[in-house]
Structure 1
């Protein structure tokens, strides 16, 4: 066979091989860091960032590696937005309402008192206008936001003394996450924004009178039942908490389309996994807390109604003072109104019935 014939046959074989093989695009090796607002010991909430990082690595064949750093390792828990905004780190994993001091709209991206439950909030973010509205808002901070976990409905926290009426809220030094403190303040309480790792010591020393974190699984790990016996429900300030992956916009926009798609898919995997872990692990943890003599009590109706009124008054004030809030909250509340109606007929009625049955 002459040289020309060999080249011709090789060329045909190459074309056939290329047609049969899947298209694989060479991607650069990348290394990112995520600054978490949570301690590594809380494997559910901190673990969502780990799930994300591991998924990205697996989907890119190890070419895109992301290290996750617990609160305080790269920067304090409540400084991660600044770190992403100025490019000190490529990403952060956090609870958006920690940063309501920058703008109250941050809280809408995480949890607001008497807000949506986890399914409703995810629906607003994914299929409603929530994702688009929040992306437009975060662009002002050089941030690309992605949902990256949800805790589901939370408990109302641990109290050193019983809560029998709204009078017991007055003067109460209460560790409560972010934006809810504005409502507690209106009710006469004294909100405290304290990272998870400092809650136990603050309760033990009497620096605070009460504290909420998330729910049974994490609360058991933190040992909060050992320093405050009364465990109230529900956490009306967090019908769910949407956790966010904040990515520096320059870092995100520098990614190829393939890597962007992988990052989005991995964040959604972490979003679902995080809530699945909470839903799976909270029931057993609650049993352990009850066995350890925790006194599980509902908030009195009077307290819930007063809290609701204070929250609605706060939102009305923000409509008048914060144009960003007014625009996004209006869409949020309209969406929630329809969701509550739907859940009333289907999920709510079903869940209430099942809770009275012996399984």
Structure 2
């Protein structure tokens, strides 16, 4: 292991790489990690020296607040390599802003931009061999922060650990997705933490999603907590509905995550001349559109899958199959966005940032 100093980031290099042990053609999403990780501790009101070091487990006190009160936030983003071996990020400023918005909501310290961005850039440069070229290949990036202060008193921690992990990823395909519209469970509530990427949001989805799985569905479309009449998100993704030739999606709120893929697809759709309506979408509207044939598509949007088409939905024990649509908006928008991300098309929006 060698040690060097770069832009006040301490870099401890792994003695050897495990990259040759990885089957990049068959890697399971989020299961394999690169040789190094980035970490920086926040102790008693001050950020410490950031470090890049070999990927390895670390110790925490059993009374660390993250275990007892759930102070944990994260982000999801990707890096891409173009045909010239240059590395690109997609709208990293949006991930950075959302990360700190989540941190504030969870009473955690904001991470300085220099630590977040410079740490990420140096980590990507060090493990750049893990980023494979070609459409469908990427490096998934997981920045996260946890409360590490000890003690089981019910109050915010005084110490935190910010880390960045890297994981090689192939094109995400989950097969045909059938969804169940939630009639009882909710993803989030007004005044809650639905707009934050807090770890507990995702844990709370596992149980109702498992019930949907047992009933033969892959995901849940969440509805609002008060009336269960408004459609909000699909699983862990934002969701779009195509009725005739208009795309509908719910507005962001305290309950709905401000998805970066979501906002990008909206801008691309508008540029392509597709009508987009950002407003609350009622379950009754969706059912009526399915019955009269005007419902053409439903698809989720998020970092991992980019766009995930939905084959059909169930509501009140009635299943509605969607038509097989040629030249779907889902495929068009996914192609446009992934071409920008992979530098295969002009980025007229200025979204891509070179590392």
Q: Point out the structure with the larger strand share.
A: 2
Q: Point out the structure with the larger helix share.
A: 1
Give the TM-score taking structure 2 as reference length: 0.28
- Structure showing greater relative contact order (alpha-carbon pairs closer than 8 Å, 6 or more residues apart): 1
CA radius of gyration, larger in: 1
